[in-house]
Copies of this chain bind each other. A is one copy, B any other.
Amino acid sequence: MAIRLYDLAGAEDDRRFSPYCWRVKMALMHKGLAFETIPWRFTEKDVIAFTGSKTVPVIVDGKQAVYDSWEIALYLDEAYPSRPGLFEGTESRALALFLQHWAVRSLHAPLLRVILLDLYRHVHEKDQAYFRESREKRLGGKLEHVAGDPMKSLAEFRGALEPLRPGLAQNPFVCGKGPGFADYIVFGTFQWARSVSPQRLLEPDDPVYAWRERMLDLFDGYARKAKGYPVGA
């Protein structure tokens, strides 16, 4: 039976905007595993209560439920060792964990401010109050105020990408010759934006731009086919 993934959706069933769910979808494609996604909204806590998690991604693989994108990646490599690995070995796994925490701290914070109102515009009607209340509590102010100057946040986001550029100028992927989970971590962040926001994030001469194009092309254009806004110039 195919793996089931509870996948955060917006007002439309096919608008999937969770950066963490995108990590998992790319990981499942990487491993070549059959899966189906189930659209899920923030307020449908009861639907996934049986898994012990209040948030997605959650996968259900036979009788096993696993949540948290990092734990899911570890699970997939352990449960399916004969499939392509998401990590080259224990060292690259440790370094990818570092990169994951860097991404959330350095990339998500400025990008959230860039796309905050676009996100709010796209969440399901029944999630709007939850989204506003939880995000305003976390960010310490009204959505409309916290968003602030999107161009300033965009400049901060572009600057924060700097440590990725030298590697992407010499290798096709963050993980070097081929994509690995560290690529899916950073790419999830971009898909988060692409799914809800028309804001152009990168200049075409940025090595991160060319990398994102390669990521959109992976697995027969799986991510490019997903509902979202054009990322190009």
Contacts and interface: CB of A to CB of B under 8 A. Distances in A.
Contact of A177 (B90, B98, B99, B166): B90
A99 B92 CA distance: 12
A87 B91 CA distance: 8
Contacts of A166: 97, 101
Interface in A81-106: 87-99, 101-102, 105-106
B176 A98 contact: no
A173 interface: yes
A167 B105 contact: no
Nearest to A91: B88
A180 interface: yes
A175 interface: yes
A91 B171 CA distance: 10
A93 B92 CA distance: 8
A175 to B, nearest CB: 5
Interface in A77-132: 87-99, 101-102, 105-106
Contact of A95 (B90, B105, B174): B174
A208 interface: no
A189 B183 CA distance: 27
B98 A99 contact: yes
Contact of A92 (B89, B105, B106, B173): B89
Nearest to A170: B97
A78 B102 CA distance: 30
18 contacts: A87-B91, A88-B88, A88-B89, A88-B91, A89-B91, A91-B175, A91-B180, A94-B173, A94-B174, A95-B98, A95-B99, A97-B166, A99-B99, A99-B163, A101-B162, A101-B166, A101-B167, A102-B163
Given A92-B95, A95-B96, A98-B99, 19 more contacts: A88-B88, A89-B89, A89-B92, A90-B176, A91-B92, A93-B176, A94-B167, A94-B173, A94-B176, A95-B175, A95-B182, A98-B164, A98-B182, A101-B163, A101-B164, A101-B165, A102-B163, A105-B162, A106-B163
